[in-house]
Amino acid sequence: MRTTVTLDEALLGRAGALSGVQDRSALLAEALRALIERESARRLARLGGSEPRLAAAPRRQGEPAPKTRRP
C-alpha cells in the first residue's frame, strides 16, 4: 500500500542508525512491527492475574532425569 507521510529527518536518521535498516519503507515497516509487538506485550501483561476464579491448567510431569555419576 502506498501512502504519504511526513517524518522527522533526525528521528528517521537515528532509527536507521540504531537498527541498521537504511531503506525508509523497510524502516517504517520494522517500526510498526516493533510497536505492535510492544503494545501486544503490554496488553498481555495487563491481563496477568486478572482472572481470580480461573482454575490452574493441568501440567504433565515428564520422566525423571536419569541420575549420572560424576568422577
The Cα 63–Cα 38 span in angstroms is 37
Low-confidence ranges of the chain (pLDDT < 70): 49-50, 70-71
**Between helices 9-19 and 24-47, what is the axis angle to 10°?**
80
Q: Between the CA atoms of 29, 35, 40 and 46, what dihedral angle is there, to the nearest 10 degrees?
A: 180
In this predicted structure, what is the pLDDT of residue 27? Answer: 96
CA distance 44 to 56: 18
pLDDT at residue 35 in the model: 97
Look up the pTM and report it. Answer: 0.62
Q: What is the pLDDT of residue 49?
A: 67
**pLDDT tens track for 21-31:** 999 999 999 99
pLDDT at res. 14: 97
DSSP state of 25: H
